[in-house]
Amino acid sequence: MIGGAAHLLHRLLGLRGTAKLGKWLGSLLCALKPRKRHVAIEEVSRYLGKQYDEPEIQGIVKRSFQVYYARHLESLFFGDLTKERISRVASVEGLENLDKALASDKGVILLLAHFGSFLLPLPLLGHLGYKVNQVTGRPVHYSFFGERLWRWRKRQADRLPVNFIQVGGFLRPLYKALQRNEIVTIAFDGRDSTKFMSVPFLDGSALFSPAPINLALKTGARIVPTFVIRHPDETHTVILEKPIEVTGSGPRDSVVRRHVEGFAALFADFVKRFPCHYGMILVRMRMDAERGMANPLSDDDICKSQRQDAEVTSK
């Protein structure tokens, strides 16, 4: 019954109207959740305190709530998207970069971050006819409501022209997809890895997994960094950066580190320009780490027990 009412409301509002409702909800929750708002101020200040003053950071935090909940609400209905509908809300820049990367015939790693409406490239490229495989981590449920929400999202995801691969220690599906010259999308800032590198990021440092870089080295797949920008009218631009061939001389670890640092620097530039696209993700990562449910983004937050679970390289 609730699901039917939600779909009816979405049909009335459209995807952009649904996002606007999410923005209103974000403004409300920013006012009603002082602890989460305080954590957001702390996290944005930690990474962007040298870029923005206190009033600016408070504005970033409010907009971060808005963007976060707009993304959550609109992504609940991604399964309803068609090629025609998605063209109304999203455009793509750099499609020639993706085609150039695929011309290598070794597959493409579409390297995303949890930035903006980061899931949007999946249905967009899928409806354009590209073979897209999304790597997912283990589902995490905080409550009964969270578990029900995950089931809703799962049903929506099953309707997308995308193949979802849940990876534990079994990587063969990734290799097979790349061998077929398909796209594999991986979140650069995902917290499910067992090995991280501490690299410079914004005003401090952060832990990022070298797994996508290692995968590119092993397979020869090109990496296409991808970012999604939300505009004030609730439309989006998906930006596909120039493809990267992971090569280099010297020890393998040094080559991997150079590429991890390079992507972290590129990602940091987008966060500086659009901080509200990432503010609440910083909150989510910190709160997940405090619950012991995920590895933290900041190496300053690693406690002794977490060091036993995640290998962190700092050299």
Closest C-alpha to 202, from 312, 49, 60, 57 = 49
| Residue 279: count of CB within 10 angstroms of its CB | 27
Higher pLDDT, 279 or 143: 279
Closest C-alpha to 279, from 35, 19, 61 = 61
pLDDT for 306 equals: 47
Higher pLDDT, 143 or 208: 208
pLDDT band at 304 (very low <50, low <70, confident <90, very high): very low
Kindly state the average pLDDT of the residues 167-190. Answer: 89
Look-up: residue for tokens 């596909």? 240
Summarised one tens digit per residue, pLDDT across range 238-266 is: 999 999 999 877 889 999 999 999 999 99
Q: Look at residue 308 and tell me whether its pLDDT is greater than 60.
A: no
pLDDT for 151 equals: 82
| 64-78, 167-181, 292-306: the lowest-pLDDT one | 292-306
Using CA atoms, how far apart are residues 298 and 203, in angstroms rounded to an integer? 11
Average pLDDT of the chain to the nearest whole number: 89
| 127-136, 154-163, 258-267: the lowest-pLDDT one | 154-163
Q: Look at residue 94 and tell me whether its pLDDT is greater than 70.
A: yes
Kindly state the average pLDDT of the residues 65-74. Answer: 96
pLDDT for 92 equals: 97
Using CA atoms, how far apart are residues 140 and 226, in angstroms rounded to an integer? 25
Q: Are 204 and 45 in contact (CB under 8 A)?
A: no
Higher pLDDT, 57 or 173: 57
pLDDT band at 169 (very low <50, low <70, confident <90, very high): low
Please report the domains of the chain, with CATH numbers, ordered by start residue.
2-313 (3.40.1130)
Look-up: residue for tokens 């620097």? 265
Q: Look at residue 25 and tell me whether its pLDDT is greater than 60.
A: yes
Closest C-alpha to 279, from 2, 34, 39, 10 = 39
pLDDT for 208 equals: 96
Q: What percent of the chain has a predicted confidence (pLDDT) above 70?
A: 89
pLDDT for 203 equals: 95
Pairing of strands 132-136, 183-187: parallel
**pTM of this prediction?**
0.90
pLDDT band at 277 (very low <50, low <70, confident <90, very high): very high
> For every residue of the chain, which 3-state class applies, written as one string?
CHHHHHHHHHHHHHHHHHHHHHHHHHHHHHHHCHHHHHHHHHHHHHHHCCCCCHHHHHHHHHHHHHHHHHHHHHHCCHHHCCHHHHHHHEEEECHHHHHHHHCCCCCEEEEECCCCCCCCHHHHHHHCCCCEEEEECCCCCCCHHHHHHHHHHHHHHCCCCCEEEECCCCCHHHHHHHHCCCEEEEECCCCCCCEEEEEEECCEEEEECCHHHHHHHHHCCEEEEEEEEECCCCCEEEEECCCECCCCCCCHHHHHHHHHHHHHHHHHHHHHHCHHHCHHHHHHHHHHHHCCCCCCCCHHHCCHHHHHHCEEECC
Q: Look at residue 17 and tell me whether its pLDDT is greater than 80.
A: yes
| 52-56, 76-80, 120-124: the lowest-pLDDT one | 76-80
Cα 81 vs. chain centroid, distance in angstroms? 20
pLDDT band at 50 (very low <50, low <70, confident <90, very high): very high
